[in-house]
Structure 1
Amino acid sequence: MKTLKKLSMKQMALVVTGSIFLVLLAIYLGFAAFFTSHYLFGTTINGVKASGKTPRAMEQLIENEIDGYTIRLEPAEGKEEIIEGCDINLKPVFDGSLQGVLLSQNGFAWPMSLFRESRVELETMVDYNEEALQKVIKELELMDEDQMIKAENAIISEYSEKDGYHIIPEEEGTVIEEKQFLQALEEAILNLQEHMVLAEKDCYVKPEYTQESEEVIKLAETMNRYAGAVITYDFGDSQEVLDGKTISQWISVNDEYKAKLSRKKIEEYVAGLADTYNTAGKSKSLASSYGASVTVSGGDYGWKIDQEKEAEALRGNIKKGETLSREPEYAQRANSRGGNDYGSTYVEVNLTAQHLHYYKDGSLVLETDFVSGNDAKGWSTPPGAFGLYYKQLDKTLRGEGYATPVDFWMPFNGGVGFHDANWRRDFGGNYYKRGGSHGCINMPYNAAKTLYDNIEAGCPVLVYQLPGSESAKAKQQDAAAVVTELIASLGEITLDSREAVTNARNQYNGLDGGARGYVSNYNVLEEAEARIGQLEAEAAADQQAQAEAQPVIDAINQLAGQKITLDMKDTIKNIRKQYNKLSEAARSKVTNYNILTEAEVKIEKLEKEKEKE
């Protein structure tokens, strides 16, 4: 009995299942038959819902929608505008395409349509007059260029010391992208859409760069990296800090949204550093070895920034966004940054005193006289602050008309340098005024050797003039030079030179013992004095001869102009006797002697004539 009961339950289950199947089959076949004349679930044609509709119903629906059709255009700015279908000659166009859509669908696959949509686009359901549409579009307010707002690209903000740079978002505009607008509008009309939002259809000209553009993001990152650099320059007792506040003024953005770092601004900044911290060529104050403070002007010694190299190095630091402390790139360095740039090791060269001092680490190593460039020939040693180029043994110095070998050569200003001068017997004083070098500092051999052994390349050389610091030797030489010139100006000695010779003697006698030794032409003075004595003696003898001869001269002058007769014979004989008694020197003074001889000839002639009578 139990077995029979169980079998009947199974049969009942089969009956129920079969019934359900048959019902579902009937439903399935019923819908399949339905969809042979109706569109499947989820079907839209040109945006119009066609699900469960026949082609004729769709045509009727489209005709109804076209009749009184309008489309509202919603712009981003301003009021909505309406285009009416009648203004563009909107009309339906049915060419069997709707029937074709129906025939192309598989009615037996209707269950699948429950889970997916079928969108169909047909070209010939609706038509309009293109020229009429173009005319309507031109009359729309949203097409008025005067009311359009240009889209603005995303940009980078001004620099903030707190936050650096950030991106300012783009701003959408209302300039119509006409081609896209027409395309979107045509599609909406063909699909009989009643509302179109222009922004949603991308009808506006878009900003070229937005806050999400890779170029903008990279630009902000680059500018923040540049402005984030912090360069601290070390100038010894001073520092200069370069940071974003200044760097930001050097950053610009080109048309391709790339950061540009101004080379010109960097070069100007470096030039400013050089102007402030370069000491090369600038006057220097020196507490001289003579107690007076002197200003050393000229020369090229000192700190000097290599502006080209530093500008390039700084540009690299900024581009990497580095934070560091460093010295600038130098073309030339000096001893010190504090107080003065020459420090406590230097050569002090006093051209006025013709004396130098060499200090090393503040201690005096050498002090010596020297002879500098010849003033009279225009070869004066230039004053200024210089750095020793190098030092060299056994150098032959060459120039126009000379080639001079020296043991120690230490140049510091072009061809000017320190060297030994073994051809000189004496140094210092004022030899440089007339007998100086071609511009170099001539030194005693041992002094030059000491300097060479202790000095190094780069050592500051401070050359200056200090009126009033002349040496005693120079003063003696100057005084002697006056006397020397007086003696040299005497020229040919005559009795008229007596006063000049006496003055030269008095000037010479006024010199002290040391100065007299520098009068190189003293022998000329002695010879002039001897000549004066000789001339004076000759003048005295001449005067005596003239006095002796004068009575005879006067007597002879009595004969002049008279007619000579025999009565004058005794007078003439007496004059002859007086003349014969004269000395040779006196006879030479009788310049009218010919009158006497003529008178004697006349007397002799008269005596002969008388004898003939």
Structure 2
Amino acid sequence: MKTKRKGKKKAKARKIVLGILIAYVAVIAVIYLGASFYYSKHFYSGSQINGINCTGKTVEEVEEIIADEIGSYTLKVREREDKTENITATQIDMKYVSDGKIKELKEEQNPFLWPMSFTNHKAYTMSATTTYDEEKLAAAIDGLDCFKEENITQPQDAKLVEGESGYEISPEVQGNALDQDKAKQLLKDAIAGGETEVSFEDADCYLKPSVLSDNEELIKQRDQINTYLQVTITYDFSDRQEVVDKDVIKTFLTTDEEGNVGLDSEKVKQYVKELGYEYDTFGLSRDFKTSLGTTVHLKGGDYGWVINKDKETAALIEAIEAGESQTREPIYLYSGKCRDTNDIGGTYVEVSIQDQRMWCYKDGQQIVDTPIVTGSVAKGYDTPAGGVWAIDAKKRDTFLKGQGYSSPVSYWMPFNGGVGIHDASWRSDFGGEIYKSSGSHGCVNTPFENAKTIYNNVEIGTPVVVY
């Protein structure tokens, strides 16, 4: 009996344990199946889409969150000088468009494997489909301050500017002007891609100066120009000077196609021509104060100074390029004896036809005052007058020959072709009105001693004033 009772108790215990197990399994099964059903409509725990926590959310709920985020979308535009501007979803009517991608992600989820989600979180990245108004986007872009003309500073090349001690390099200006087509396309692409920030600088959208301050060619130009401008050429015109300094030299500068700085020969030649206009005196009109105190106006002759324009142009260029300051006289084509403003100076011969008188001055002191006989008026041999000529030669003991005559002279000083000053031993009288009827063939007949004195005190080139 006891054995039977013990058997019944064991059977009952087994039934109880089995029942408990069945109940436990049933509960777990209910929970599992319930959760499986739940996750057939909701995202797993730990699921993320584009950083959005989707745990336990339905497709519709996730799409609503995405739509809200897109509605608050802002593209930050970074510009130079730490400026930023924004384009917002509101400005362009940007909206989320449900295209089934969220649902597809949900359907990839096996609801019966939900327990694995607690240890295997899923993070999805997807491009949300949006729509926006293209015209409003274009208007929003055009409305940015960076595209408004009044806010734009164009880039500027580094350049040479004149400073206190010479030419300097003024640095380039980067400015803030954009390659507008490139910049606008960058913004459109960023919005289409859902980007939240762009940098014009990083995307290389700014226009650039083409010449920078470290440009070797620019540095070379600066150094060459400053070498030229350090030169000072002083032209010596006795009582006057002309200075070719940096202000003059910079007007000569030119740059060739390869960027080499040089001197423009035509500009230099023009400067030398202007020197000629100012200082050439050869054959020019001039007023002359006579020994008798009157003033005569002289219009011709071959005495004076003329700068050799071609040779002096070359010499000036060479002097500047050598980089050495100097004082110089121009190269002359014709030269006189005195370079003062009054280039007749203090040593000259003066002949008055009307007074039949001649004077000679040396270093401002009168050394001869003599009567003379000039060209015969009656025979048409008038001595050339009304100008300043230069003594062309000096000869001793020669014969003056012409048609029908050959006259020996001891002192011969021609100043106008065959016309000159000489002694006339065949004459015993000088001055008065002899020249009108019995004058010379054009020369200035002079008493022997006075001709000798003049000969011994003048040089070739000494001016002879005849009036």
Q: TM-score, normalised by structure 1?
A: 0.46
SS in 2 for 1:80: strand
Q: How does 1:146-295 map to 2 (within 5 A)?
A: 147-157=151-161, 159-160=162-163, 162-178=164-180, 180-181=182-183, 194-248=196-250, 270=272, 273-274=275-276, 277-280=279-282, 281-283=284-286, 285=288, 288=291, 292=293, 295=296
| 1:457 maps to amino acid | I
Q: Structure 1 residues 366, 184: CA separation in 2 closer, same or farther (over 3 Å shift)?
A: same
The answer to whether the 8 A contact 2:166-2:226 is kept is yes
Out of 448, 459, 464, the position equivalent to 2:462 is 459
Deviation at 1:450, TM superposition (A): 8.0
Alignment equivalent of 2:325, drawn from 323, 326, 332: 323
Q: CA deviation at 1:172?
A: 2.3
Counterpart in 1 of 2:385?
A: 382
- Determine which structure has more spread, i.e. the larger CA radius of gyration: 1
**CA distance in 2: counterparts of 1:295 and 1:447, whole angstroms:** 25
Letter in 2 for 1:351: I
Q: Structure 1 residues 427-436 or 266-275, which shifts more?
A: 266-275
Q: For 2:199 and 2:319, locate their aligned partners in 1 and report how far apart those are by CA, in whole Å.
A: 51
Q: Is the counterpart of residue 82 in structure 1 residue 83 in structure 2?
A: no
Distance, in Å, in 2 between the alignment partners of 1:208 and 1:239 is 44
User: Aligned equivalents of 1:164 and 1:91: distance in 2?
Assistant: 70
For residues 127 and 236 of structure 1, the distance between their equivalents in structure 2, rounded to whole angstroms, comes to 92
Amino acid corresponding to residue 153 of structure 1 in structure 2: D
Relative to structure 1, the CA distance from residue 126 to residue 174 in structure 2 (aligned partners, 3 Å threshold; closer, same or farther) is farther
What is the 5 A alignment of 1:364-379? Answer: 364=367, 369-372=372-375, 374=377, 377=380, 379=382
Q: Give the TM-score normalised by the residue count of structure 2.
A: 0.58
8 Å CA contact 1:356, 1:367 repeated in 2: yes
Task: Name the counterpart of 2:351.
Answer: 349
Higher deviation after alignment, 143-152 or 186-195: 186-195
1:556-567 matches, within 5 Å, as none
- Of 433, 436, 439 in structure 2, the residue corresponding to residue 433 of structure 1 is 436
In 2, the alpha carbon distance for the partners of 1:378 and 1:197 equals: 98
Distance 2:97 2:332 in 1: 83
Which structure has the highest helix share of the two? 1
Q: Deviations over 1:239-266 (max 9, x none)?
A: 4434234545665889987767676775
Shift in Å, 1:390? 3.1
Offset, 1:387: 0.9
Partner of 1:567: none
Percentage of matched positions with identical amino acids: 33
Distance 2:129 2:377 in 1: 110
Contact 1:153 1:171 in 2 (8 A): yes
Which residues of structure 2 form unaligned runs of 5+?
Answer: 1-46, 53-64, 100-126
Structure 1 pair 376/138, CA: closer, same or farther in 2 (3 Å)?
farther
Higher strand residue share: 2
Aligned to 2:298: 297
Q: Is 2:383–2:419's contact at 8 Å kept on the other side of the alignment?
A: no
RMSD between aligned residues:
5.3
* Aligned residue in 1 for 2:338: 336
Write the distance in 2 (CA, Å) between the matches of 1:88 and 1:433.
121
SS in 1 for 2:167: coil
Equivalents in 2 of 1:126, 1:437: separation in Å?
122
Task: Tell me the secondary structure at the aligned position of residue 217 of structure 1.
Answer: helix
1:72 aligns with 2:73: no
1:380 CA drift (Å):
4.6
In structure 1, how many angstroms separate the alpha carbons of the residues matched to 2:389 and 2:425?
Answer: 25
Matched residue pairs, number? 370
- Identify which range, 192-201 or 440-449, moves more after superposition: 440-449
Cα distance in 1 for residues equivalent to 2:98 and 2:232: 72
Range with greater deviation from structure 2 (66-75 or 223-232) = 66-75
Q: Shift in Å at residue 74 of structure 1?
A: 1.8
CA distance 1:146–1:365, change in 2 (3 Å)? closer
| Mapped contact 2:74–2:196 kept (Cα < 8 A) | yes
Question: Which gives a bigger RCO, structure 1 or 2 (Cα 8 Å, sep 6+)?
Answer: 2
Change in 2 beyond 3 A, CA 1:163/1:339: closer
Deviation per residue, 1:128-171 (Å, 9 max, x gap): 99x969957964534455653322222333x44x4333222222
Post-superposition offset of 1:199: 2.8
